[in-house]
Chains A and B, each alone.
Chain A
Amino acid sequence: MEFTAKDFRDYFKVIVDMIEEQKDYLCELDRKLGDGDHGVTMSIGWQAIGKKLDNELADEEDSAKLNITVGKTFLSAVGSSVGPLYATGFMRGAKAIKNKPVLHDSDLKDYWVAFGNGIQERGQAEVGDKTMIDTLIPFVDGLEKSFSESQNFLDAFNKAVVAGEKGMKSTKDIISKRGRSSRLGERSVGAQDPGATSAYLIISTFLEFVEQRIEKVS
């Protein structure tokens, strides 16, 4: 499959709308574990990105530059802990696709692997700490493994999203070890991590986006 800066822009716009819809749900999850503002934080960041996409990024044809601006915009708008984490994800993703006007299957795989690994490196969390990493690392591992077998991005991404979903759901059963909720100890068991949930929504929305795009083309 082929993917361009325009596709990235369209995908990011879908995320902007999706986050608005999920804002209250994400806050609700966060109220059980943190200070109840995860949906608000994500919304502030994606609203800022939405404005950029409609203005200075409206004609950007370089996927890497588009991703760098998206990352920096998110960081400036939110700070918080998700700011540096997602900013690093988008910037590392950008680095993986530098100077490529059209992305093909292996480029898209590289982008998402760099995205997930960048976030892990910035936050230094491990699987089992009850964070977004519980979604992203199974997702990255699944993507790399499936892609090496099939060389088909859509097929591999599909399996990776399933692995990410499983990881997200596993956060219900674990005790927080990172971030503010780590201070809750055993009281954190039973609640699904909001950061793991929003990370899942971002990858699953990408899957829906590329599937719909393929349907449209065919």
Chain B
Amino acid sequence: MKKLINNPQNVVEEMVEGYVKAHPNHIKQLPENDRALVTNRTTKDGKVGVLIGGGSGHEPGFLGYVGDGMADGVAVGNIFASPSPDPILEVTKAIDKGAGVVYLYGNYAGDVMNFGMAAEMADLEEDIQVGMALATDDVASAPKEEKEKRRGIAGEFFIYKATGAAADFGYNLADVVRVARKANENTRSMGVGLSPCYLPQTGKPSFEIGEDEMEIGLGHHGEQGIEKGPIQSADAVADRLVNDILADIEINKGEKVAVLVNGLGATPRMDLYIVYRRVEQILSELGIEIYRSYVGDYITSLEMGGVSVTLMKLDEELEKTIDHPVDCPMFVQK
């Protein structure tokens, strides 16, 4: 394992320190908790606060998405581990503008417990109303009948995008939560892993895979997927991912989607665009209109090799949210 780090125990602290110092116009650390970061811009009174969070190692997820048009604050966990309720509660207090706060996070046992505990504390101790929406976009992580068990992967990006816009539009908490949940309901992802990532503290690969193998449905913490097989061409991988997604959600001819082809950290843009090329072909053959597309590293897994494809089915309201401009340190949309 080669990494450009100092002490493996301090990677999260040192990353956060560098990040905050690099983007002082965008983001600041709260004095109460090093893992609690909030926007440095003034937000409107009466705007619903948008709080995101999760483990580290997914950069630009999640701290990269704090800024205008997206999230107002982020709680930063250890590598691949949910943040504790402390930073979540501190961010909640800092970003509440009297209209409540929505928590957006992936459906993982740890996140569910820590964000749930923080929401209880916000309500009991701080009298702040909290709404929640979980990302469950990964079709490979559980069958359709058990949709609520699915984990959140790259589709979280679309949920942040839609929710951040809804909050900016001045929606109340109930409506912001409704949009967040609709965004999740309309979003599906699936990925493939080619090479593992290495946890800085252990130096060990997150999963075992042969030189000539790929793993379909791999999780973005290196959780094993649904099957391992010989590596295939970009077109074949794109076919498999898009077909599995379309088998899970009905998207008819003439309907519009937002597309995200997401790299897991060590996949070149070249490969991502080759995958996107095929995704576009399949969708246009089916008469599904691509309303907007995103190609790049949006939610990663350290230096993992691989790609995921995400489709979000759009209605008029979601189109508006997707068009909304964003200015974050790691993502800008004009």
Contacts and interface: CB of A to CB of B under 8 A. Distances in A.
Interface of A: 24, 27, 31, 34-37, 39-41, 44, 75-85, 122-123, 178-185, 187
Given A75-B85, A83-B114, A187 B80 contact: no
Nearest to A43: B201
Contact of A79 (B83, B199, B207): B83
Contact of A78 (B81, B222, B224): B81
Interface in B108-143: 108-110, 113-114, 117, 141-142
Nearest to A181: B223
Which of A24, A31, A44, A77 is the most central at the interface, judged by chain B CB atoms within 10 Å of its CB? A31
A187 B199 CA distance: 22
B86 interface: yes
Given A183-B151, A187-B224, A37 B80 contact: yes
13 contacts: A31-B206, A34-B221, A35-B222, A37-B80, A37-B201, A75-B85, A77-B84, A79-B77, A79-B114, A80-B81, A80-B114, A82-B110, A180-B223
A180 B221 contact: yes
A82 B85 CA distance: 13
B258 interface: no
Interface string B163-202: 0000000000000000000000000000000000001011
Contacts, number: 98
A82 to B, nearest CB: 8
Contacts of B151: 180, 183
Given A80-B110, A84-B114, A183-B151, A37 B223 contact: no
B221 to A, nearest CB: 4
B222 A36 contact: yes
Contacts of A77: 84
B219 interface: yes
A36 B83 contact: no
Contacts of B80: 35, 37
Contacts of A184: 223-224
B204 A36 contact: yes
A37 B79 contact: yes
B114 A183 contact: no
A180 B81 contact: no
Contacts of A123: 109, 113
Given A37-B80, A44-B78, A180-B108, 20 more contacts: A31-B207, A35-B80, A35-B223, A37-B79, A37-B199, A75-B85, A75-B86, A77-B84, A79-B82, A79-B85, A81-B110, A83-B114, A84-B117, A122-B113, A180-B109, A183-B141, A183-B151, A183-B219, A183-B223, A184-B224
Contact of A83 (B84, B142, B219): B84
Contact of A40 (B85, B86, B202, B223): B202
B149 interface: yes
A84 B81 CA distance: 12
B143 to A, nearest CB: 10
A181 B109 CA distance: 11
Given A79-B81, A183-B141, A35 B110 contact: no
Contacts of A83: 82, 84, 110, 113-114
Contacts of A44: 78
B227 to A, nearest CB: 9
A81 B109 contact: yes
B78 A80 contact: yes
Contact of A41 (B78, B114, B117, B149): B78
A12 B149 CA distance: 35
A81 B82 contact: yes
A182 to B, nearest CB: 7
B308 to A, nearest CB: 15
A85 B113 contact: yes
Interface in B70-90: 77-86
A110 to B, nearest CB: 24
A32 to B, nearest CB: 9
Interface in B276-309: none
Nearest to A80: B81
Contacts of B83: 79
Given A40-B202, A180-B108, A34 B77 contact: no
A84 B113 contact: yes
Interface in B58-101: 77-86
Max chain A C-beta neighbours (<10 A), residue from B78, B79, B221, B226? B78
A40 B84 contact: no
Contacts of B219: 180, 183
A24 B202 CA distance: 8
Given A37-B202, A187-B224, A80 B77 contact: yes
B134 to A, nearest CB: 15
A77 to B, nearest CB: 7
A47 to B, nearest CB: 9
